[in-house]
Amino acid sequence: MYRWYVINTRSNLEKKVKGDLERRLAAHDQSSRVRQIVIPTETKVEVKDGEKIQKEERTMPGYVLINMDLNPAVWAVVKETPNLTGFVGASTDPVPLTQPEVDRLLHQEVAQKVASKAQFTIGESVKVVAGPLSDFSGEIAEINQDAAKLKVLVSIFGRETPVEVGFDQVKKI
């Protein structure tokens, strides 16, 4: 019966462990017992210098998910893989994930949530590059990560005026 299990790996070696696992399973003729090996990631969109950059980030550093039909032969191949520190659960028997846990963890992988992350700091000087106030310069007064917006103090008619702009509407000076 195929079930999902969580494997603990050394930090930052998830891709290496996945590749090693796939090679070892093929070499020991156990590939048919493993349906899928997943490194949980999500796509993040960062705004850097006014440009959107997409990058993959691990949601569970140090862990790899594996969907397999657990038997002693497969377990021996998996647990002897280099840089793999063991299964999550009891040391004698790996504990499979429940269906709600699988749905939650894999939903992040499939949906690839897009989140914005600002590369700005309060007090930093920026130039508005889009919108009705383009070409105005100002200083960041507030950062709202959830809405991906900044409150920038721009000088209009000699007075500092707070203006709300999106991360993608400004550029660092």
Answer whether 40's CB lies under 8 Å from 60's CB.
yes
Q: Which residues contact 129 (CB under 8 A, 6 or more apart)?
A: 50, 135, 169, 170, 171
Condensed to tens digits (0 to 9), the pLDDT of residues 28-77 reads: 999 999 999 999 888 887 777 777 888 888 888 999 999 999 899 998 89
Q: What is the pLDDT of residue 139?
A: 95
Q: How far apart are CA 87 and CA 94, in angstroms?
A: 6
- 2-116, CATH topology level: Alpha-Beta Plaits (3.30.70)
Helix (H) or strand (E) holding 150: strand 149-156
Whole-angstrom CA distances from 20 to 2, 137, 148 are: 21, 52, 39
Q: How far apart are CA 156 and CA 5, in angstroms?
A: 59
Q: How far apart are CA 80 and CA 46, in angstroms?
A: 38
Whole-angstrom CA distances from 59 to 6, 88, 172 are: 13, 16, 29
Range(s) of the chain covered by CATH 2.30.30.30:
120-172
Q: How far apart are CA 12 and CA 171, in angstroms?
A: 32
Q: What is the pLDDT of residue 117?
A: 57
**Correct CATH for 120-172 of 3.30.70.60, 2.30.30.30, 3.40.50.10860, 3.30.70.260:** 2.30.30.30
Condensed to tens digits (0 to 9), the pLDDT of residues 129-157 reads: 988 888 999 999 999 887 788 999 999 88
Condensed to tens digits (0 to 9), the pLDDT of residues 159-169 reads: 999 999 988 89
Which residue in this structure is represented by tokens 């509407």?
Answer: 169
Averaged pLDDT, 2-19: 93
Using pLDDT thresholds of 50, 70 and 90, give the confidence band for residue 110.
very low
Question: Where would I find the beta strands (DSSP E) of 84-136?
Answer: 84-87, 115-118, 125-128
- pLDDT of 23 > 90? The answer is yes
Range(s) of the chain covered by CATH 3.30.70.940:
2-116
Q: What is the pLDDT of residue 113?
A: 41
Residue of 66 and 110 predicted with greater confidence: 66
